[in-house]
């Protein structure tokens, strides 16, 4: 399976830090994803949204980063929302039995409205 390069960016909208991840989140490119999340958390948002609408694949290391992010955000009093996961990526949360642990919305707009 070819790995799609990962592009990550961070923006702040109305006090919410948003991490946009486009491509595959795999062990080979986990560091930029982790760095973007750290950058977003450093902004001390009230809400952290991980925009997965452009994510084609999420590996177990990527899932582990999201679990760590959930723990960090809970300790920091920040709400974590995963937005826009496609069926394939969303299915990973089902398989790992984490779909009830994470707050997930179908779109970034829905996440920002919470």
Which 3 state secondary structure label does DSSP give 82? strand
Task: Reply yes or no on whether the pLDDT at 3 is more than 80.
Answer: no
What does the alpha-carbon distance between residue 93 and residue 63 come to, in Å, rounded to a whole number? Answer: 8
Q: How confident is the model at residue 1 (pLDDT cuts 50, 70, 90)?
A: low
> What's 107's DSSP letter?
S
Q: Is residue 1 part of a domain?
A: no
pLDDT of 4 reads 81
Residue ranges making up the domain that contains 50: 7-113
Going across the sheet that includes 47-58, the strands are 7-13, 16-25, 47-58, 79-83, 103-105
**71 to each of 3, 78, 97, how far by Cα in Å?**
28, 10, 16
Which residues are within 8 A (CB) of 51 and not within 5 positions of it... i.e. 6 or more apart?
Answer: 18, 19, 20, 21, 83, 84, 108, 111
Predicted local confidence at residue 37, as pLDDT: 97
Supply the CATH number for residue 84's domain: 3.30.750.24
The residue ranking higher by pLDDT, 70 or 4, is 70
Joined tokens for residue 8: 């990550």
pLDDT band at 2 (very low <50, low <70, confident <90, very high): low
Per-residue pLDDT of 36-67, as tens digits, reads 999 999 999 999 999 999 999 999 999 999 99
Number of domains in the chain: 1
pTM, rounded to two decimals: 0.95
């Amino acid at each position: 399976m070819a790995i799609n390069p990962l592009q990550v960016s961070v923006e702040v909208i109305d006090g919410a830090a948003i991490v946009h991840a486009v491509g595959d989140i795999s062990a080979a490119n986990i560091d930029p994803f982790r760095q973007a999340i750290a950058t977003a958390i450093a902004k001390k948002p009230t809400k952290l949204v991980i925009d997965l609408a452009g994510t084609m694949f999420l590996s177990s290391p990527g899932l582990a980063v999201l679990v760590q992010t959930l723990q960090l955000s809970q300790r920091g009093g920040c709400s974590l929302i995963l937005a826009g996961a496609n069926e394939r990526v969303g299915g990973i949360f089902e398989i790992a039995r984490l779909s009830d642990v994470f707050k997930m919305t179908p779109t970034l707009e829905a996440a920002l409205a919470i």
